[in-house]
Amino acid sequence: MMESLKQGAIADFAPGRCLATIAWVWVSLACLSASAMAGGKPGIAPKPDFGPNVLLFNSSMTSSEIQRKIDQVYAVQRHNEFGSERNAVLFAPGTYAIDIPIGFYTQVLGLGASPDSVRIRGNVHADASLDHNNATCTFWRAAEGFSVTPAGGTMQWAVSQAAPFRRMHIEGNIVLHQNGGWASGGWMSDSLVDGNVGAGPQQQWIARNSEWGSWTGANWNMVFLGVPHPPTGEWPSPPYTKIAATPVVREKPYLEVDGGGNYSVRIPALVRDSAGITWHGGVTPGRSIPLSRFYVAHPSADTAATLNVQLARGMNLLLTPGVYELTDALRVTRPDTVILGLGFATLKPVRGTPAMTTADVDGVILAGLLFDAGATESPVLLEIGQEGSSAPHAANPISLHDIFFRVGGAGVGRAAVSLRINSRDTIVDHTWIWRADHGAGVGWESNTSANGLVVNGDNVTIYGLFVEHHQQFQVLWNGNGGRTYFYQSEIPYDPPDQQGFRSALGVNGWASYKVADTVTRHEAWGLGIYSVFRHPAVVLSRAVEVPQRPGVRFHHLITVALDDKGEISNVINNAGGPTSIEPRVTPRVADYP
């Protein structure tokens, strides 16, 4: 039988077929042969080759062995804010007594059908990466798909942007800060906390489709969407924005393994008007795609050419951790293609091309990816649909989950636009689109970027929109029927003077959130926009700029000046007033118009 399988693999070869795929086939067949010769049990699948940057643990391993390997990863990633290392830590179903610190570019993932299939008895924690308990730079880390019984009763998750917390069960309490230190926002979805969530000094937060015993703490902008029991109190004191149901979403896909060692990727079902977690029944409703329908990519071997061959063959992609330097754009053309990254898999264009483009087709899902601009300017890093796309996708929308962007910081980076959405009905489920304000290659003439997000498609819905420091509009929304649930933005720190920072005659700076004058329908909830000007005599006329129409509506906006220079003169259009110099105030607008 093995010989016939090998002959079939040879017969299936065609010119242009990726040699890495053929090598994988032969390795897989060799593993099957070895298993058969060793008397392997029927139905036990061979372990996939996830590469050296993925740690895969099962409960038959000793706690000391697991702890040693986790500590080795954390020793590298603890302060590795702009390093090139990437890691995923995977746990098969079982119970583990360990301590898991989660550093930069580290994803910890349970492989069970339910979060309760993987149980951690001990600590799982994200710690402040700066001194004085300061978590404002605690970025790029993730906890997904497992339960934690925290030692001492309370888990610490002191994070800011790009730190997804998904499908988690905390059998105790959780705090979103470290000893009362600063923290700058985060994301929680499809998660259950048996006890209290302590927000403390978190500046802003979005919790979507989550449940808890209680919530305490508030600061500037806290959004609760599809949360059955949100905290008591009404905006602006405390600043709680509460929306009873999530209008339309599918949860992020996730990797899982069954008792026979068979791996698949679970695709949660699209749901409408939902509240609470998806896994009360034990399994999130949806469908599973066997891993055999994914090409498992490795940054040491794969290129834009090899990945595009696999996409053209109809394969989905599982990108193992690392930095993929791309000389051409990855082109997604097939409906229902899934591209799932592990361990903050990073796509970096190096010749001024986009990193990825998609056709205007149904059901494409992109998840768990970091797009990092190269030194040669890209016109766009990720483009969803072609310009002029008009096909309806409401029944099976394109969706993006934990998709992050960076321009500069790890080195000089340039991109005119980070994310452009042309396709209708697209769903974005958590993104941070960042022009770096610190790190390497940072400066007004160095890491250049006009816009973080441009939306041209109609009926686009975004949950958890974090966009910062771009040099013109952070967000430019041209499509009709758009919706945003939670927005966090800092305008750029570094405009050198007012003369070079004007969007129109008599208009200082570029509004953070701009709805085009042609738009007739748009709505947004829970917006916080902040300034940290580094040069004197630079101000921003308005944080949000929209056409004056009854169908364009905004709810719960706040502006804050975080330094001693400049101001934001109005919150939205000419409403709200300034963040005056002395004393500093935080203007708020409840509803507009």
| Domain identity same for 223 and 159 | yes
Contact residues for 201 (Cβ-Cβ < 8 A; gap 6+): 177, 180, 181, 182, 183, 217, 219
| Domain identity same for 80 and 229 | yes
**pLDDT reading at 25 higher than 80:** no
Q: Per-residue pLDDT tens for 45-54?
A: 788 999 999 9
Taking the C-alpha atoms of residue 363 and residue 394, their distance in angstroms, rounded to an integer, is 10
Taking the C-alpha atoms of residue 18 and residue 435, their distance in angstroms, rounded to an integer, is 35
Does residue 423 sit within a domain?
A: no
Q: Per-residue pLDDT tens for 250-308?
A: 999 999 999 999 999 999 999 999 999 999 999 999 999 999 999 999 999 999 999 99
Q: Average pLDDT, whole number, for the chain?
A: 93
Phi and psi at 271, nearest 5°, equal -130, 155
- As a whole number, mean pLDDT of residues 69-95 equals 98
Contact residues for 107 (Cβ-Cβ < 8 A; gap 6+): 87, 88, 89, 141, 142, 144, 321, 342, 343, 344, 368
**Which domain, by its residues, includes 189?**
54-249
**pLDDT reading at 546 higher than 80:** yes
User: Which of 199, 223, 249 is the last residue before a domain boundary?
Assistant: 249
Q: How many domains does the chain have?
A: 2
| Domain identity same for 25 and 96 | no
Contact 492, 453 (CB under 8 A): no
Q: Per-residue pLDDT tens for 163-178?
A: 999 999 999 999 999 9
| Domain identity same for 34 and 153 | no
- As a whole number, mean pLDDT of residues 339-353 equals 98
Does residue 5 sit within a domain?
A: yes
**pLDDT reading at 17 higher than 80:** no
Catalytic residue, chosen from 144, 468, 490, 567, is 490
pLDDT of residue 584: 78
Does residue 139 sit within a domain?
A: yes
| Domain identity same for 14 and 148 | no
Contact 462, 439 (CB under 8 A): no
| Domain identity same for 110 and 231 | yes
Contact 323, 86 (CB under 8 A): yes
| Domain identity same for 75 and 223 | yes
Q: What token pair was written down for 383?
A: 């483009």
pLDDT of residue 203: 94
Percent of the chain having pLDDT more than 90?
90
Give the pLDDT band of residue 563 (cuts 50, 70, 90). Answer: confident
User: Which of 221, 249, 277 is the last residue before a domain boundary?
Assistant: 249
Taking the C-alpha atoms of residue 584 and residue 17, their distance in angstroms, rounded to an integer, is 63
Give the pLDDT band of residue 580 (cuts 50, 70, 90). Answer: confident
**pLDDT reading at 22 higher than 50:** no
Does residue 582 sit within a domain?
A: no
| Domain identity same for 93 and 154 | yes
- The number of C-alpha atoms within 13 Å of 438 and in the hemisphere containing its C-beta is 6
What is the biggest distance separating any 2 CA atoms in the chain, rounded to whole angstroms? 81
In 283-377, DSSP assigns E strands to 286-290, 294-297, 316-319, 323-326, 330-332, 338-349, 356-358, 365-372
User: Which of 199, 234, 249 is the last residue before a domain boundary?
Assistant: 249
Beta-bridge mates of residue 290: 264
> Alpha-carbon dihedral of residues 196, 197, 199, 200, nearest 10 degrees?
30
Alpha-carbon distances of 45 from 29, 42, 118, 225, rounded to whole Å: 11, 8, 20, 40
Task: Scan for tokens 């069954």, then name that residue.
Answer: 258
pLDDT of residue 36: 36
Taking the C-alpha atoms of residue 521 and residue 455, their distance in angstroms, rounded to an integer, is 13
Give the pLDDT band of residue 581 (cuts 50, 70, 90). Answer: low
Q: Cis link prior to 593 (omega < 30° from 0)?
A: yes
For CA atoms 300, 301, 304, 310, give the dihedral sign.
negative
Give the pLDDT band of residue 43 (cuts 50, 70, 90). Answer: low
**pLDDT reading at 6 higher than 80:** no
| Domain identity same for 36 and 65 | no
Nearest to 467 by CA among 523, 404, 384: 404
**pLDDT reading at 42 higher than 70:** no
| Domain identity same for 59 and 5 | no
Nearest to 335 by CA among 390, 266, 398, 422: 398
- As a whole number, mean pLDDT of residues 326-348 equals 98
Does residue 593 sit within a domain?
A: no
Does residue 36 sit within a domain?
A: yes
Taking the C-alpha atoms of residue 98 and residue 486, their distance in angstroms, rounded to an integer, is 35
- As a whole number, mean pLDDT of residues 23-43 equals 38
pLDDT of residue 44: 66
pLDDT of residue 16: 37
| Domain identity same for 215 and 88 | yes
Does residue 359 sit within a domain?
A: no
Annotated active-site residue 490? The verdict is yes
Q: Per-residue pLDDT tens for 452-463?
A: 999 999 999 999
- As a whole number, mean pLDDT of residues 458-484 equals 98
| Domain identity same for 30 and 90 | no
Does residue 184 sit within a domain?
A: yes
- As a whole number, mean pLDDT of residues 84-109 equals 98
**pLDDT reading at 30 higher than 70:** no
What is the domain-level CATH number for residue 94?
Answer: 2.160.20.10
